[in-house]
Amino acid sequence: MSRDMKFLLLLGALGWGVIFYFSAISKPPAPYKNCGDRPEREFTHRNTRMIGGENVGVDVWPWQVSVLYQPDSSAPFSQVCGGALIDKYWIMTAASCANVQNQSKLLIRAGSSTLDVDDEFTQKSEVARIITHERFNPVTLRYSIALFQMKTPFMFNEFVSPICVPDDAAADHKYESCHITGYNTQPGDDVGVLQEANVYIMSRSLCNKPEYWNFTVSADMLCVGELGGGVDGCETNLGGPLNCYIKIEHRYYLIGIRVKATSCGEPNRPNIYLKVYGLYYWIEREMNISFH
């Protein structure tokens, strides 16, 4: 083989190497593969507490996070919203939860069964960036979704891990088991404790009846809870997750995030959640992560 031929072959090999290198570094990172990996929860007894549910450990819902805000340096951090961990660097919550005067005063807290009580499993991270859907309407609450990117990643373990993000195919599944979760901020013996409550997804036609939400529930929303009231997340759990178990996948998916909190446990006012699966490709694009 001539020297020129060897040189051409070497250049070709180098060229292919450069192509493979840049294609590898430009590929979006893959998410945590064990998302939503928890046994299906049984239906729990309901009562009239914060979300009409029962106290539960954070190891049962390890993606539940608390969005904390400190209005000024002399005030303590307090919960303003709930949220769900979907990646080591990202949480999802409602767009209304991004309406703060100073982003640097936000803190995300994970891995704790009780607010304001840190233990060996508690993790915290500051917010580096907030992405709110460009079509968010604060009046109708359409597209009320926000992604918070962390300054430091959460370390996954039994008490801190992400929930799966569903795509359009999730709409075809029948959710036989759905729960809402959040921290109890109502006065009483269980204040600050993480709680769960099983809920049922209602038809939008029922939820939009004049005696209920009077045609204000749009097509990108879900109604859950009970018409009699008493199963509710209340205001400080805005942005909290609707956790639904898909049996064929053997894992939990983030089917919705709470977007309305103007009533708390009132009759004829079911909880309203945004359909996460309808915004799957927006979430992928903004996070630069391929969930497939």
Dump the DSSP string for 133-198. -TT--TTT-TT--EEEEESSPPPPSSSS-PPBPP-GGGGGS--SEEEEEEE--SSSTTTTBEEEEE
Mark whether 187 and 257 lie in a shared domain.
yes
Domain-embedded: residue 12: no
Mark whether 185 and 230 lie in a shared domain.
yes
Mark whether 157 and 177 lie in a shared domain.
no
Mark whether 157 and 185 lie in a shared domain.
no
Mark whether 135 and 190 lie in a shared domain.
no
Q: What global pTM score does this model have?
A: 0.85
Q: How many domains does the chain have?
A: 2
Mark whether 121 and 181 lie in a shared domain.
no
Domain-embedded: residue 45: no
Cα–Cα distance between 289 and 77 in angstroms, integer?
31
Domain-embedded: residue 38: no
Domain-embedded: residue 142: yes
Q: What residues have CB less than 8 Å from 219, skipping those under 6 apart?
A: 204
CATH number where 223 lies: 2.40.10.10
Domain-embedded: residue 240: yes
Cα–Cα distance between 106 and 123 in angstroms, integer?
14
Domain coverage including residue 260 = 168-277
Domain-embedded: residue 186: yes
Mark whether 151 and 238 lie in a shared domain.
no
Mark whether 184 and 245 lie in a shared domain.
yes
Mark whether 141 and 180 lie in a shared domain.
no
Q: Tell the residue number behind the tokens 């529930």, with chain if given.
A: 217
Domain-embedded: residue 54: no
Mark whether 258 and 180 lie in a shared domain.
yes
Mark whether 141 and 192 lie in a shared domain.
no
Q: What is the pLDDT along the chain (292 residues), one digit of tens a residue?
A: 665 555 555 555 555 554 444 444 445 566 667 899 999 987 654 444 455 578 899 999 999 999 999 988 888 888 999 999 999 999 999 999 998 878 889 999 999 999 888 888 999 999 999 999 999 999 999 999 999 999 999 999 999 999 999 998 877 777 768 999 999 877 776 888 999 988 888 889 999 999 989 999 999 999 887 766 666 566 668 999 999 999 888 999 999 999 986 666 677 888 899 999 999 999 999 999 877 6
Domain-embedded: residue 7: no
Mark whether 141 and 236 lie in a shared domain.
no
